[in-house]
Structure 1
Amino acid sequence: MNKTTCFHCGDPCESQHVTYQEKDFCCNGCKTVYEIFSENDLTCYYDLQQTPGATPQDIEGKYDFLEDKIIIEKLTEFNDGKHQIATLTIPHIHCSSCIWILENLNKLNPNITASKVNFGKKTVRITYKTEAFSLKEAVLLLSKIGYEPYISLEDFSTGKSKVNRSLIYKLGVAGFAFGNVMFLSFPEYFEVNEFWLEQYKTVFRWLMFTFSLPVVFYAAQDYFVSAYKGLKSKLLNIDIPIALGILVLFIRSTAEIVLNIGTGFFDSLTGLVFFLLLGKYFQQRTYNFLSFERDYKSYFPIAVTKIHKGEEKPIQVYDIKKGDRLLIRNEELIPVDGILINGNANIDYSFVTGESEAVKKASGDKLFAGGKQTSGSIEIEALNAVEQSYLTQLWSNDVFNKNKEDGFTTLTNTISKRFTITVLSIAIVATTFWLFVDATKALNVFTSVLIIACPCAIALSAPFTLGNLLRIFGRLKFYLKNASVIEQLAKIDTILFDKTGTITSNKKTKTTYRGSKLTPNEEILLTSTLRHSNHPLSRSLYKLLQQNNIESLDYFEEHLGEGIYGKTQNESIKIGSAKYVGQLQPETELSTAVHISTNNTYKGKFTFYNAYRKGISKLFNQLKTNYDLAILSGDNASELNNLKKLLPSKTKLIFNQKPNDKLEYIKHHQNNGANVLMIGDGLNDAGALAQSNVGIAISENINVFSPACDAILDASKFNQLYHYIKASKAAIKIIKWSFVFSFFYNAIGLYFAITGQLMPVIAAILMPLSSISIVIFTTIATNILGQKLK
């Protein structure tokens, strides 16, 4: 029997079926939108594409905050009191009909003078008259016709701050002051005695002093603040020598004009700050252009199961829309704020707060993104879309980095710790020498040494190299938590693999059943219990049995490494190892098997015949030369002979490992000095992934998001693992070569500075040039590295 669909949005017309002008609508909202279009002669909207609309939601009072003048100021791009321009994000934009109606908003309300759609960004830029219209009314109008905007004040504020206008202002002030001070210094440069009369000397010198004040106390304040915070924390950071150089120049120059013994070094001072800020501005623009973090975040591969018209399908979390019904399985994270529809919710918010005590929730309660469901599966209705920044912030939470960061020092920190002390020592020794030899050169030498030896090149080489490689890895479906993972990956010497779902492919696994036939009720109970679990074997078996009906469980429990338990009022079921389900008669397993018992009666087993991932033999042969390799499997030894044929002879094969056994195995090797890389799934291997120096979770279009792992590798790229590790080692070599170049630059520059042949302003010009050269070198080198990976 054919279902009637809504003329406006295409959804099935069921309980609220409305008929108007011989057309069917699923609700009064869609009928109202059609009436608006009919009254304004816009029904050709439906000619461009069938059912292009969206059902308008109940928004009464939702946008009252748009009456606040401060909020309106943040959301509008232009506001002269008569007209306002605002760019709004419209998630529903998806076809030519959407573009047409949104660019004809002026026909719906004459106070809207223009509207322009950016289809790629899903935004509409609206210009309207403020005398008889407002931003709130514009949003309400869009919502009434099914194009409700997505408004996040945080997104708007962070979006506008991407360009650091403060730096631009400071650069402008320093440049203006530098130009004027240079102009005022010309008479003395050229020794124009006819012009440089006694009555003008004092005026010009105090003018130069005046121009230097905003440079020192405004334009250069970031260096002083950073230096102060470093000293307060008992750390010698790279801004201390710079701040010291600026301060010495200013005090010496001020003393000279106050005591009327000279002109000072205001030209060098203002020039120094100007060129320092110019270098910083270049770094910022280059960093934003390469967009390291933004790029890798946009490829973040966490997925979730969406329920639509009774069907379950995995989708990227960034495709989640408000109102979507989502299935959250046991041990899965909630990716968006939502309302609990059904299921026994027991939410662990430790990923967000660090507090591990789970919180029970009832149907209708609000659940927050970042919570982990710990007692079976639940269904929620999404209240909003996913924020990328929130998920990546959650993944990088310091709560989950403490163990691995302890005792690990980055390459940059290793060098930078001693750099500042060395530079200060050289500056003091050189200055002391010139005080006795030629006191007039002492100040220039001191300042030039501090500036020319600024470790900016050292500070830049690691972020640009590792950041660019993060972006390249992301495009190749290898997603790292942060840049330090690359450094740790380059140091590993031992690689451990889980078997099921890691070196085997769940999608290609074949399954057979042997045992007593299950009754229809037992099949339903089996499917319903499997639905709650996120284990790779549970997911594979559930997919096979998904056509069965689903019923709610009264109780669910999962024992990692053993099995799962489900119970209704009349029946109970155990699914897992033979020992867990109570199989007393041992038998030789031919392959990986999942056993089943109902009401404490053994029924049979599902046998999985493993299909190993493409290229696994080649991968292990590539790794065997430089790394100790081992397979840690929770399964029995049935695959021992197959793995011996498939893998190199030196590969250790260890079976019947529980999650804690894997963790202890890793800890034992670490205590013996090994740097361990663990590769497994994001659930059963969470402890091992967290204990290892680097933990990589394999993703096969499932929700593997876990703070326990340091990286997520798309299953299709598993055979490229050797090349990713090799690239990490190459990145460290690039950084070291950058340090070598920086060392030679500093050595040459220091020679001229110590010998008194280098003015501070020339040193300030050379410093950003050295930074530019380092950025160009690292970017080109990592891009070449990326081309080799492809």
Structure 2
Amino acid sequence: MFKKVKCYHCGDACVEGEITSADKSFCCAGCKTVFELFTENNLTCYYDLQNNPGATPPELEGKFDYLEQTEIREKLIDFSDDGVESIQLFIPHIHCSSCIWILENLNKLNEQIITSQVNFPEKRVQVTYKTKSFGLKDLVLLLASIGYEPYLSLENMEKKKTDIDRSLIYKIGIAGFAFGNVMFLSFPEYFEVSEYWLDQYKPIFRWLMFCFSLPVVFYSGAGYFVSAWKGIQSKILNIDIPIALGISVLFVRSSVEIMADLGTGFFDSLTGLVFFLLLGKLAQQKTYSFLSFERDYKSYFPIAVTRLNHDDLLLEEKIPIYEIKKGDRILIRSNELIPVDGILVEGDAKIDYSFVTGEARTVVKNKGEKLYAGGKQQLGAIELIAEKEVEQSYLTQLWSQDAFVKDQEIPFKSLINKISKHFTIAVLSIATIATTFWLFFDASLALNVLTAVLIIACPCAIALATPFTLGNLLRIFGKQGFYLKNTDTLEQLADLDAFVFDKTGTLSHTQGDEILYEGEQLTDEDYILLRTTLRNSNHPLSRKLYAFLQSQKIDTLDRFEEEVGKGIVAKVNEKEIKLGSSQWVNVPAENQNTATTVYFSEDETYRGKFTFQANYRNGIWSLLKSLFKNYQIQIVSGDNASEEAYLKSQLPFLKDLHFNQAPADKLIRIKETQERGLKVAMVGDGLNDAGALKQSNLGIAVAENINVFTPACDAIIDAKKLLHLDAFIEVAKKGKRIIKWAFFFSFLYNLIGLYFAVTGQLTPIVAAILMPLSSISIVAFTTLASNITSRNLKKINC
């Protein structure tokens, strides 16, 4: 019977004794080859990290002690509350898929880290961690110890854009200077000049080339060695390991030839290799800063907030959140997101910070305490004084956190996560086999083959295909009013099989409905009670009624509760008010009707009802007919069936119409559809539909002009652009095809390059030129192709 054990190198399951080396078991020949390579080069410390985790390298001792000062830490940290902190750090050394994998798996290195997410184009990482036995200093030390020391500057943290790392410019200058001089000193060797060269100057020229190579290897190329070594210490195979190995082999071989007077070495290839590698890194950084994928609502979509007049707090004004100024008094209703840091001045705050921390728990705050942006109020309305202007990019980052990604397989993401480890193992294996072959058949080519293979096979081009294609489409979608959480969400949009639509607030407008009141005559006191109660709710019907009742005096609530899908109950001046469905208010049968209605009672006594006549969006029927050609369509509504006949007259082909659906019923409908093997998108208003939005494969919240989106949704679409949903889906599908073509070109480049490298026809210096060019060409292709594909979206009128 076969005994299952863990692979000594990667930890995957394997059969004991099937593939072995030095009494160790391995899952594949690749892991065995890498282990043997490490053993031969005295790098077995790679496997010792877990024996002494958390050890601080001597060179970092005391370097970040200033981060223990409260004043400095508060300026750097984005969020700090209830034992959890969150910060966004600029990491200059992020440059490939290996970097992404390492930085998004920091929780494997320290259990106090909750989540970490990389913004690849901007070279930033957002980290959320527990502070019980861990702090900002510990986080920075951890990052520095694995080769990703963050650039910390209070001035830098306040800027949106980051400049090119100046140290990279210096390294390129030194490498370029040395490369030019080494090439010049190599001319006599190239042209086989004799006489004076042979007798007097050959040794001098060769030692000069050696001297020029020293700053190139130990300064300009030092970053590759540091990154490779820290990757090995952390048991992570990053892409800098083969590059550092190639530089080392060239330098050692060339130095031995000079010292033993065996030849001139390969200092021209060595200095040229480092020079062109650094040039490629510079070009990539400039490309990243030119192509910004940040989905900044400030530029595109004016999600609004309610600002109160300083002189008359009853005067409310809807403003885009980017217009908030320090000192403004802001009204936050139940289930609204707090857009800015501020001080609580009115109301009972029960804040859900899962938007920031990823942990589903609420925090109670009292008047005078600080509230952080990203929290969601759970208990009625509150008022706060803004401490700063809104940080839109921070809210966007919170919305994009992996904590809210559905628990399902994401093919492109898993490919990028796995490609780093397996690709590097494959490259090392190919390099070892090819070099061994040439050592026996033509030893003079073995060194060139080893170095060329290690350089040409860099997977950076493959790693860039997905983020740049989907990232550019995210930017374009955002400009047109459709905001997706992240690139995975865009991919899911292209893979859907069915759509489930809510009716109220989705197919119909949330504004412009005709409202009729039937019941006892309302007094001024009744108006005050109703307005005070409705002011705390963010349900679409509550917002309509609040506007319909016009401006009245507002009292302070003694109690407020809202039951999703049922209604609200509040207590004001010893009077209990109920608003909601007929079951919630206990309405007599003779007063119930079949239209969309909000019923009203006072102290358990029925008083009246507000009836709404739905006003459907222009063009919504055309959208549903278009989608029906390729997808299954359902309509689920919490309202009664009073409009069933009208909907069937507009959509005679539609069979799945469901009314009187509570939030739990909508969620069940989604589950039943998914159990048939279909990938489902839920399109709703983000409130009563929260459960269904989260259960669906893709939750799309339709937004009018208020800040109501929650972590349950994966996308927000401007209500005006909902009619063009089919056009967005078509572009997303074309985006996937672009990625497949980019993958094809990337793999084709690697196959062709590896063929010439393995056969000894490719020199290291040419490989060093081709590697960055391949990455830049992939970025150019995906950006151009995605722009052309989405050109029809740009024709959509607001």
TM-score by length of 1: 0.76
Q: How far apart are the structure 2 equivalents of 1:687 and 1:479?
A: 20
State the match for 2:730 in structure 1.
Answer: 726
Q: How far apart are the structure 1 equivalents of 2:638 and 2:156?
A: 45
Q: How far apart are the structure 1 equivalents of 2:543 and 2:302?
A: 18
- Structure 2 vs 1, CA of residues 236 and 497 (structure 1 numbering), >3 Å: closer, same or farther? farther
State the match for 1:303 in structure 2.
Answer: 304
Residue 476 (structure 2) pairs with residue 472 (structure 1)? yes
User: Conserved in 1, the CA contact under 8 Å of 2:464 and 2:779?
Assistant: yes
- Structure 2 vs 1, CA of residues 157 and 701 (structure 1 numbering), >3 Å: closer, same or farther? closer
Q: Which amino acid aligns with 2:371?
A: L
User: Conserved in 1, the CA contact under 8 Å of 2:343 and 2:384?
Assistant: yes
State the match for 1:763 in structure 2.
Answer: 767
Residue 617 (structure 2) pairs with residue 613 (structure 1)? yes
1:333-348 mapped onto 2 (5 Å cutoff): 333-348=337-352
**Deviation at residue 610 of structure 1 after TM alignment:** 1.3
1:316 pairs with one of 309, 316, 320: 320
**RMSD over equivalenced CA pairs, Å:** 2.8
1:550 pairs with one of 548, 554, 557: 554
User: Conserved in 1, the CA contact under 8 Å of 2:637 and 2:658?
Assistant: yes
Tell me the secondary structure at the aligned position of residue 179 of structure 2: helix
**Deviation at residue 206 of structure 1 after TM alignment:** 3.7
Tell me the secondary structure at the aligned position of residue 428 of structure 1: helix
State the match for 2:274 in structure 1.
Answer: 273
1:650-661 mapped onto 2 (5 Å cutoff): 650=654, 652-661=656-665
**Deviation at residue 759 of structure 1 after TM alignment:** 0.8
Tell me the secondary structure at the aligned position of residue 413 of structure 2: coil
Q: Which amino acid aligns with 2:443?
A: A
1:439-518 mapped onto 2 (5 Å cutoff): 439-518=443-522
**Which 5+ residue runs of structure 2 have no aligned equivalent?**
1-70, 76-152
State the match for 2:713 in structure 1.
Answer: 709
Q: Which amino acid aligns with 1:605?
A: K
2:576 pairs with one of 566, 572, 576: 572
Q: How far apart are the structure 2 equivalents of 1:402 and 1:608?
A: 36
User: Conserved in 1, the CA contact under 8 Å of 2:272 and 2:765?
Assistant: yes
Q: How far apart are the structure 2 equivalents of 1:673 and 1:209?
A: 65
Task: Describe the superposition over 1:341-397 as per-residue Cα deviations: whole angstroms up to 9, x where unpaired.
Answer: 222222233323345443333333332222222111012221211122321232223
User: Conserved in 2, the CA contact under 8 Å of 1:187 and 1:195?
Assistant: no
Task: Describe the superposition over 1:467-500 as per-residue Cα deviations: whole angstroms up to 9, x where unpaired.
Answer: 2111111111111222222122222222222221
1:583-662 mapped onto 2 (5 Å cutoff): 583-585=587-589, 589-647=593-651, 649-650=653-654, 652-662=656-666
State the match for 2:185 in structure 1.
Answer: 184
- Structure 2 vs 1, CA of residues 231 and 648 (structure 1 numbering), >3 Å: closer, same or farther? farther
State the match for 2:688 in structure 1.
Answer: 684
State the match for 2:441 in structure 1.
Answer: 437
**Deviation at residue 623 of structure 1 after TM alignment:** 1.5
Identity over aligned residues, as a percent?
63
- Structure 2 vs 1, CA of residues 603 and 588 (structure 1 numbering), >3 Å: closer, same or farther? closer
Q: Which amino acid aligns with 1:506?
A: T
- Structure 2 vs 1, CA of residues 436 and 395 (structure 1 numbering), >3 Å: closer, same or farther? same
Which segment drifts farther, 569-578 or 426-435?
A: 426-435
Residue 363 (structure 2) pairs with residue 362 (structure 1)? no
- Structure 2 vs 1, CA of residues 301 and 712 (structure 1 numbering), >3 Å: closer, same or farther? farther
- Structure 2 vs 1, CA of residues 663 and 175 (structure 1 numbering), >3 Å: closer, same or farther? farther
Tell me the secondary structure at the aligned position of residue 669 of structure 2: helix
Task: Describe the superposition over 1:273-327 as per-residue Cα deviations: whole angstroms up to 9, x where unpaired.
Answer: 2212212221221221122216666435432111124421221111000121111
- Structure 2 vs 1, CA of residues 468 and 409 (structure 1 numbering), >3 Å: closer, same or farther? closer
**Deviation at residue 330 of structure 1 after TM alignment:** 0.7
Task: Describe the superposition over 1:220-272 as per-residue Cα deviations: whole angstroms up to 9, x where unpaired.
Answer: 34444444555556554444433333333233333333443232222212212
- Structure 2 vs 1, CA of residues 443 and 350 (structure 1 numbering), >3 Å: closer, same or farther? same
- Structure 2 vs 1, CA of residues 460 and 357 (structure 1 numbering), >3 Å: closer, same or farther? closer
Q: Which amino acid aligns with 1:282?
A: A
User: Conserved in 2, the CA contact under 8 Å of 1:500 and 1:633?
Assistant: yes
Tell me the secondary structure at the aligned position of residue 380 of structure 1: strand
- Structure 2 vs 1, CA of residues 340 and 491 (structure 1 numbering), >3 Å: closer, same or farther? same
Q: How far apart are the structure 2 equivalents of 1:628 and 1:231?
A: 51
Q: How far apart are the structure 2 equivalents of 1:575 and 1:295?
A: 37
Which segment drifts farther, 366-375 or 580-589?
A: 580-589
Residue 351 (structure 2) pairs with residue 351 (structure 1)? no
Q: Which amino acid aligns with 1:632?
A: V
Q: Which amino acid aligns with 1:204?
A: F
Q: Count the aligned residue pairs.
A: 643
- Structure 2 vs 1, CA of residues 556 and 177 (structure 1 numbering), >3 Å: closer, same or farther? same
2:782 pairs with one of 770, 775, 778: 778
Q: How far apart are the structure 1 equivalents of 2:648 and 2:179?
A: 73
- Structure 2 vs 1, CA of residues 247 and 499 (structure 1 numbering), >3 Å: closer, same or farther? farther
TM-score by length of 2: 0.75
State the match for 2:243 in structure 1.
Answer: 242
Q: How far apart are the structure 2 equivalents of 1:465 and 1:357?
A: 36
Tell me the secondary structure at the aligned position of residue 590 of structure 1: coil
State the match for 2:792 in structure 1.
Answer: 788
User: Conserved in 1, the CA contact under 8 Å of 2:296 and 2:392?
Assistant: no
Tell me the secondary structure at the aligned position of residue 609 of structure 2: strand
Tell me the secondary structure at the aligned position of residue 307 of structure 2: strand
User: Conserved in 2, the CA contact under 8 Å of 1:595 and 1:604?
Assistant: yes
**Which 5+ residue runs of structure 1 have no aligned equivalent?**
1-69, 75-151
Q: How far apart are the structure 2 equivalents of 1:524 and 1:724?
A: 44
Q: How far apart are the structure 1 equivalents of 2:631 and 2:391?
A: 39
- Structure 2 vs 1, CA of residues 452 and 360 (structure 1 numbering), >3 Å: closer, same or farther? closer
Q: How far apart are the structure 2 equivalents of 1:646 and 1:735?
A: 39
Bigger Cα Rg: 1
Tell me the secondary structure at the aligned position of residue 379 of structure 1: strand
State the match for 1:53 in structure 2.
Answer: none
Which segment drifts farther, 228-237 or 644-653?
A: 228-237
Residue 738 (structure 2) pairs with residue 737 (structure 1)? no
Q: How far apart are the structure 1 equivalents of 2:716 and 2:247?
A: 46
Q: How far apart are the structure 1 equivalents of 2:526 and 2:581?
A: 18
1:383 pairs with one of 377, 387, 391: 387
Residue 540 (structure 2) pairs with residue 536 (structure 1)? yes
- Structure 2 vs 1, CA of residues 353 and 742 (structure 1 numbering), >3 Å: closer, same or farther? closer
